Structure 1
């Protein structure tokens, strides 16, 4: 650094230079600090704005999803409760099942049994009307075995079995109930009168009956 020249002692000039340098350093420090703060302030504002925007969008989305879920639940509840109320109201008002409201179908476990076997029968009761109806099915449907030409009745499931207790059933439109029965392969008469004889080998048919309702006959065979 150049030596100071002038009428004053050199120490004064050195002090002035030191003071000027100190002022410059302080000024630079202030400028750097201001620039740094401005830069940080800009980033902070941008981050805050972004965070605010993100939070607002998330809150809006959550509110929309919550509203949608609530609306869906309310709709589902209203839809499910309406049929329940209608069903509850319709149940006590079910009319009696007239013979024209029901249909019977009979089935045989297999087409051929051996003499001495116990053929298995089944029947399905169907409400063929368009509305629920009620009927006492305590006695249940009966099975009747005839010769194949239908001329001679050989056996009926209720000949030797007294009617059961009342059992009122309500069947919805199209609803079905199933029953099963077993034949011991012997004859029977009403009130279980007379002797029960083994039915010989031959071709036979079974019919299901409920009151005045009869199913179509289903053929089967007894083999020796």
Structure 2
């Protein structure tokens, strides 16, 4: 008569190791399948999406910083009559932006060579807040620039947007220019000028007796030095 040998149950550690091994194998198989499917369908899309998200986040952060800076600059209040020019040499030379090779290689600088960039002190000025404006002037040539601001006025102008393209104000209509004298810029050097406060009233050249308050809405500002004019920038009055 034969005797039956019943196998003894394995220790729990063995079963646990087998389960762990099975899970690891399953994860590896799923990873390989995902990699194959991703390669066939173009796996760069996910990377592109991550890159776009990073760029969007950086742009949002930069925009928030700029808006905060603009709000801080526009917090100071003063009257239009007591405005002053605030020229400041850049700490480091600005890189020429979109400068043709023939301009960048010039060893002389003329008024038309200057790059003008205007901006308001804030995207929106609240009710009662007097707008301020900045004009950055850059010499994109390889030579020194020497401009007589007495002959070529540095000025700002504001036009309406909501009710047609109408000039409503210029800072030299009723006051002297924000800056006079000579503007000297080395190659690639920039300087920024500020018009510290607009009284939010209308004006026209030589007509300052009946200045009317302007309404809320969208406006655009230009900066000028003589016949050289910047591109416009928009802002709102609340």
How many residues are treated as equivalent by the alignment? 129
What corresponds to 2:176 in structure 1? 162
When residues 203 and 127 of structure 1 are mapped into structure 2, their CA distance, relative to the original with a 3 A threshold, is same
Unaligned runs of 5+ in 1: 1-93
What corresponds to 1:126 in structure 2? 138
Distance 1:197 1:190 in 2: 15
Q: Secondary structure at the match of 2:224?
A: strand
- Per-residue deviation at 1:189? 1.0
Q: Does the CA-based 8 Å contact 1:115-1:200 persist in structure 2?
A: no
Distance 2:148 2:140 in 1: 17
What corresponds to 2:147 in structure 1? 135
Q: Does the CA-based 8 Å contact 1:141-1:210 persist in structure 2?
A: yes
What corresponds to 2:208 in structure 1? 193
Distance 1:111 1:165 in 2: 24
When residues 222 and 177 of structure 1 are mapped into structure 2, their CA distance, relative to the original with a 3 A threshold, is same
Q: Secondary structure at the match of 2:174?
A: coil
Distance 1:166 1:217 in 2: 23
Q: Does 1:172 find its partner at 2:197? A: no
Q: Secondary structure at the match of 2:206?
A: helix
Q: Deviations over 1:106-156 (max 9, x none)?
A: 111111112332011111111111211211134752111101276200000
Coordinate RMSD, CA, aligned: 2.2
Distance 2:194 2:179 in 1: 18
TM-score (normalizing by structure 1)? 0.52
Q: Does 1:101 find its partner at 2:113? A: yes
When residues 165 and 142 of structure 1 are mapped into structure 2, their CA distance, relative to the original with a 3 A threshold, is closer
When residues 140 and 179 of structure 1 are mapped into structure 2, their CA distance, relative to the original with a 3 A threshold, is farther
Distance 2:178 2:134 in 1: 18
Larger Cα-atom Rg = 1
Distance 2:198 2:179 in 1: 22
What corresponds to 1:40 in structure 2? none
Q: Which has the higher contact order (CA 8 A, sep 6+)?
A: 2
Which has the larger helix fraction?
Answer: 1
What corresponds to 2:157 in structure 1? 144
Q: Does the CA-based 8 Å contact 1:205-1:217 persist in structure 2?
A: yes
